[in-house]
Every structure is written in structure tokens, then in C-alpha cells.
Structure 1
Amino acid sequence: MRFDSALGLESRRGPAATAAKVVLYAAMVLVFTGPLLGLLVSAFGRTLDPTAFSLWPDDFTLDNFVLAKDQNVYLYLLNSFVVVGFGLLLQMLVSVFAAYALARKRFRGMTFVMLLMLATMMLPEEIIAIPLSLVLADLPVLHLDLIGTYAGMILPVGAWGFSILVMTEFMKEVPVELEEAARIDGAGEFRIFATIIVPLCRPALGVIGVFGFTMIWDQYLLPLIVSTDSTTWTLPVALRSLRSNEEVGIGVLLAASLLALLPSIIAFLAFQRQFMRGLTSGAVKG
């Protein structure tokens, strides 16, 4: 729904209505892009006051990003990319295969499985923090200690109820007739899954890709539990340390914050077409 339609401005004509629309859109741009623009400008300037807003840095410099290297910011950024890269890949694989089983197969206890996934989405991270740390310290069956490793930060995000539910609901909308025609032509189960089901679910993959990337990238409690020293910190954890360190200037903190923000924006822009198709596909079906 358009904002001007919701406010009754779409049906109005004349200079007053045009001025109201301009003011409305300008306010929206200021609210949503103002903080980002302020962060961008401050990160490239020698400002001592992060609340001082400007459209262009008074003294443009890259010193903040150079000094960030001395604080190991780029190491933390690399750690974040490693975790989000392997974590998102694992999460999307698990979501696709689990959704295929839930959407196309019928088995006893399927309703219970769906309720269990919904229950995991309702539990705050703080509640499962201690049990999760105990499990990661002694992985059942394998008896592996994943504390202090990348695997300890990747495996827990490998399955996310939200992504599985989104993929399940989208796969239910794929016509069964396509599978039946493929089986008549001699296609096997995996071939049907890989060449028919998955390509038709690209919009849903864009949705879970954007949300999954943001969820993993913004993880704070999990890396804090797993990390045993600063060399395995991710950028969100490092930002808290930089903020509490009085020796670190505000410019370095702003530069690190900008580096933490940009990947989420880039991920959204990369998946934007599939993301928007995935969000609107449910509105045009049926």
C-alpha cells in the first residue's frame, strides 16, 4: 500500500496536495536515510562529535579506516564473512531439503515437526545460551569441543525455522502436475528436486537469503559464547569491545560500524529482485 493512498493524498489534486506529498516523502527519506548518511559522512571525517550531522565531511580522510587495521577490525570483518558465508550456505541447503520433505512428503509426526520449528522461533537466544554452550563444548555422539572454533559459530545457525517455513509454504504452491509429468518422462526424485522444484523457488531463495544473511551477520550472543579469544571475534562482538575501549577514537568506531553495516545493504541489493518477487508472489497466487 502506498503511503499517499493510506493518507488519502492520492485522490487529491492541486498545489496543496503536491506540497503535502513532497513533505511526506522528504520526511521519509530523512528518517530512513539520515542515520546512514550521518554514519557515512562521519566515518570519512575527523569528527570528534558523532552527533554533528553534515552532508559532507569537513575534513575528508581515510585515516579512520587505516587506524582500524591497528585494532584488528579487518580480521574481525574476515571472521564475520567466514561465518556468514558457510553459515548461510548451510542454512539454505538445510531449508531447501527440509522444506521439500515437509511440502511434498507425508509422514507421521509432520505436524509435530512444524510445531517444533515454530517453538524454536519463539525462544529468545538468552534462554538457550547456557544449554547451547554446554552442547558445543561436548557435541553429542561425536564428543567434539567446538568452543573457540568457526564450526561452533556456523553449525547452530545452519537450521532456522523461519527459512524452512518460508520455503515450505512456497514449495506447496508448485504444481504437482509438473512432478507427475517429469516422473512419466523417467526423472528420478533428485532430478525432479534439482531441475524443477528448486528453480521455481528462486524468489523464496532470495527472501531466505536476505533474511538469513542479516540474521547470521548480526549474531552477537553466539560468537560471544563460542569465542575464547579476540582472534575469533566477529565484527558485532568487536564493536562492543571497541566502544568500551577509551584508547580507540570515535572515528575508528564509526569506520568499524560502517563496515558492519555495508554487507547487509549489499546483500539486499544483490538479492533485491528475487526478494521482492518472493514477497509479492503470495499476493498474486490463487
Structure 2
Amino acid sequence: MRLDTALGLEDRRGPLAIIVKTVLYGGMVIVFTGPLVGLLVSAFGETLDPTGFSIVPDGFTLKNFFRAGEMGVYGYLLNSFVVVGFGLLLQMLVSVFAAYSLARKKFRGMTIVLLIMLATMMLPEEVIIIPLSVVLADVPPFHLDLIGSYAGMILPVGAWGFSILVMTEFMKEVPVELEEAAHIDGAGELRTFFTIILPLCRPALGVIGVFGFTMIWDQYLLPLIVATESSQWTLPIALRSLRADEESGIGVLLAASLLALLPSIIAFLIFQRQFMRGLTSGAIKG
């Protein structure tokens, strides 16, 4: 099976075609990887020019990271890990159970539920942040004040319409006959869910894991309204503070930026196989 590129370059042969391909592909590599390489080099660089951004190493030092520790960056990083760890776990649990209900159960108002989830995905975060802050200050019906707590940053990200919809569409493709066979063998509904359906949904779990991690990790407005002290800040808020702090210097900002970038890359590498299988499965089914 022959795969053609969008530019039709696969059919081109000869020295000129090779030169054009090299220039185009090399330009793409520079555009996409250049900023990342520049960030990596500058974070470990000895001399930094705030007006420039170089990908050429100029010495090697860890003083930027030591200075970042003195500025409390590692504490902010720990806060981000706490929020994203518990938030992603809660989000994936809610997504798989909600998706199972929507994919396998029939109940009144199911269409309305799906429309509400779609509506939440279409609303900008800035629109709902003020009502959300009011709710977090007095959570009904228990009248709990979650402002200034980790729970206030975790609970709002515990349900995400995108993850629920992805899992719902994937679970609909799981043959019902597998469940029926498990029930005939005496397996209960929960056992069937955990031993049959959930293992078959690993590609979808990889997709919602990567996107969910990135969504929670990049949260800015939510931790901003919940945190009442600087010690409760997550890394995205700390980056904004370091950028406005002239005493911290560009080196500390770049080191903190690298620390903020690495977890997303690591999360993608962890879920890479399931993520790619999930995207491929969705493309084939579509």
C-alpha cells in the first residue's frame, strides 16, 4: 500500500525532488524543535542574554536550577504534581463510569446530558470562572468553602466532557456479545466491566490520559482563584510571577519553564503506545 503525502512529494524523484524534500522537512524540524532545543540549552547555559534566544550551547551550569529552588519553584512543581495526580485519577474514573452509562444504559434525558457536556466544552474558561469561584466558596448542599485548598483545584477538573465523549464513543464499539458471554459464564456487571470492557478500552484511556494530563497541568485561572497564599501556587502561576520579578532573572524563568514542559513530554511517552492506538482506532472507525 502506497502512502502519499499531502504535497504529493512521494511521486517526485530525482536530485531536485530530494533537495526540495530536504529543505521542507528540515524546515519543519527547525520550526517544531528549535524552540524546545533553545529552551533546553538556555536553561543550562552560563551566560544569558534576555534579548536573545540561542540554540548554541555557551557553557554548562546548574545554577539556574539551584536559584529556582531558592525561589520556591520546586514547591510549586510539587503542588502541580499533587493537583494533576489526583485530578487526572478522578477525571479518568469519572470518565470511564460515565461513558459506560452513556454507552450501555438507556435512560430518559440521555440526549440532554450529552448536549450539556458538549455545551461545557464550547464555553471558554473565562466565562465560567467567576460562577465557579462563587460555587467553590460555598459548595452546595454542604456549604463547604474549598477556596485555599487542594480540593478546590482538583474537584472542578474531575469531570471533563471531552474525556467522557471519547470513552463513550469507544465503548459503543465494544461488541455487546462479549458482555453477554461473560454474563452467561456467571460474571457480574462490575466484573465484566473491569475484566472485559476496560481492558479493551486501553487505547482510549491513553488518549484521555494524555489530553487530561495536559489540560490539568496547564490550568491557570482555576489555581489562581483558589490559591489564597503563594505557597499554594501551581507552576503556571509561578511562571507568571517569575516573569514579572526582575530579581529572579531570565535563567530562573527558563529553568522553571523547562520543568513545566518536561512532565507533559514524560506523560506522552508513558501513554504513547495507547495514545497512538487510540487515534488510529478512531481514524479507522471514522
In the superposition, the TM-score normalised over structure 1's length comes to 0.97
Is the partner of 1:10 in helix, strand or coil? Answer: helix
Which residue pairs with 1:10 in the alignment?
Answer: 10
- Which amino acid counterpart does residue 18 of structure 2 have in structure 1? T
Once residues 54 and 231 of structure 1 are traced to their aligned partners in structure 2, the CA distance between those partners, rounded to angstroms, is 33
Q: Residue in 1 aligned with 2:217?
A: 217
AA paired with 1:87? G
Count of matched residue positions in the alignment of Structure 1 and Structure 2: 285
CA distance in 2, matches of 1:106, 1:98: 13
What is the rounded CA distance, in whole Å, between the counterparts of 2:268 and 2:38 in structure 1?
20
The Cα of 1:176 is off from its aligned counterpart by 0.6
Contact 1:99 1:171 in 2 (8 A): yes
Q: What amino acid maps onto 1:275 in structure 2?
A: F
Secondary structure at the residue paired with 2:219? coil
Give yes or no for contact 1:137–1:147 (8 Å, CA) kept in 2: yes
Show the 5 A alignment for 1:154-165.
Answer: 154-165=154-165
SS of 2:10's equivalent? coil
1:269 maps to which residue? 269
Residue 68 (structure 1) shift: 0.4
Query: Which residue is equivalent to 1:73?
Result: 73
Inter-partner Cα distance in structure 1 for 2:67 and 2:17: 50
The 2-side partners of 1:200 and 1:233 are apart by: 38
CA distance in 2, matches of 1:50, 1:266: 28
Give, in angstroms, the shift of residue 47 of structure 1.
3.1
What stretches of structure 1 move > 3 A for 4+ residues in a row?
Answer: 50-56
Give the structure 2 partner of residue 168 of structure 1: 168
> Match of 1:113, as an amino acid?
V
Cα distance in 2 for partners of 1:260, 1:200 equals: 32
Give the share of equivalent positions with the same residue, in percent: 82
Structure 2 gaps of 5+ residues are none
In 2: Cα distance, 1:158 partner to 1:53 partner: 38
Listed as ranges, the matches of 1:101-180 within 5 Å are: 101-180=101-180
CA shift, 1:48, in A, is 2.8
Q: CA deviation at 1:50?
A: 4.4
CA RMSD of aligned residues (A): 1.4
1:207 matched residue in structure 2: 207
- Matched with 2:241 is 241
Which residue pairs with 1:25 in the alignment? 25
Q: Deviations over 1:230-279 (max 9, x none)?
A: 01000000100110011111000000000001100111111111000000
CA distance in 2, matches of 1:252, 1:3: 45
Distance 1:170 1:137 in 2: 36
Aligned partners of 1:4 and 1:21 also within 8 Å? no
Gaps of 5+ in 1: none
